[in-house]
Amino acid sequence: MLIVAGCSSDSGSGDSGSKGSESGGQTSSSTGASASPTVQAAAYRTIPDSCGTLSKKTLTSLVPKGAKSGKKGTSDEAGTRASCSWSSLANNGVKGSQFRWLNVSLLRFDSDAARGEGNQLAHVYYEKQVKDAQSVAGAKNVKSQAVAGTGDEATAVRYDLKKKEGAFKQQTVVARVENVVVTLDYNGAGLAGDKTPNADDLSKLAQQAAKEAVASVAAANGDGGQGGGSGGDSGSGTAKPSPSKSAAPSASASKAGKSSASPSSSPSSSASKKS
């Protein structure tokens, strides 16, 4: 009996030591495998000058009397957030006048280990901008449509807005290219008895301008081939890496919930307040 007990005791002690050693090895391995989370670097590191996103020819077609009247937004932040607005008033004498207002805003998102990849963050903001445009107070006959060949995803929203100055035709095009969101607001009205502009004509001009603005983002980053977008990327994280290896977020990219456009003081200013 003494011999059996001794064997039993030795066996139990050996098992205990073995298990303890094995457990310790697993803990060490688990600790060693733990690493800080990483995200793919954002594709675009900067944005273009907001008042230089559109050519003189394009501006002349959208705001005939105001192609040189571009005013930068007060909340601009170099390389991250910017906006520019133009206004045009063409006096047609006793027939009244034609008013046009245009605003282009850009917002860039950096990749952040805590919040996610830049193009994912941009996609979320893009969707918010579209929803805001579709739910403007007082808007009538709201219509939305996808816009092809403009960044990775783009939507055009149009509606009518009655104001004391006249009947305004509002066009908003929201586009995302990689980790940058471009929002273009364009509206027109016939004032003092002049006829209301054709909404289809305004929509066509707005979509062409949005495509040009998106292309300017790619050009500002030395990538002339990205203006049209891949068409199949909807924030899946397949964006090409930035030359910069840093995934640290820009200080202002965390302000994603705020619109980059400053409201215009023109008669159509309230038509562009979406965020």
Instruction: Give the model's pLDDT for residue 254.
Output: 40
pLDDT bin (cut points 50, 70, 90) of residue 39 is confident
Identify the CA nearest to 46 among candidates 115, 125, 110: 110
Judge contact between 264 and 101, C-beta under 8 A: yes
Q: Which of 39-43, 145-149, 201-205 has the lowest mean pLDDT?
A: 39-43
pLDDT score of 14 more than 50: no
The whole-angstrom distance between residue 117's C-alpha and the CA centroid of its chain comes to: 13
Arithmetic mean of pLDDT over the chain: 78
Mean pLDDT on 217-221: 97
- Residue 175 above 80 pLDDT? yes
- Listed in sequence order, the residues at least 6 apart from 71 whose beta carbon sits closer than 8 Å to its beta carbon are 51, 84, 85, 86
Mark residue 219 as left, alpha or beta (left: phi above 0; alpha: psi -120 to 50; beta: remaining): alpha
Q: Confidence band (pLDDT; 50, 70, 90) for 208?
A: very high
Residue 205 CB partners (closer than 8 Å, separation 6+): 61, 62, 171, 186
pLDDT for the residue numbered 164: 85
Res. 122: pLDDT tops 60: yes
Q: What is the pLDDT of residue 228?
A: 46
Reduced DSSP (H G I as helix, E B as strand, rest coil) percent helix, strand, coil of the chain, to 5: 30, 25, 45
Asked whether the predicted pLDDT for residue 56 surpasses 90, the reply is: yes
Q: Stretch 186-205: mean pLDDT, rounded?
A: 95
Task: Give me the mean pLDDT over the 44-69 stretch.
Answer: 97
Which of 3-17, 98-112, 202-216, 232-246 is the least confident region?
232-246
Question: pTM here?
Answer: 0.71
- pLDDT category, 245, cuts 50, 70, 90? very low
35-49, 51-65, 137-151, 184-198: segment of lowest average pLDDT: 35-49
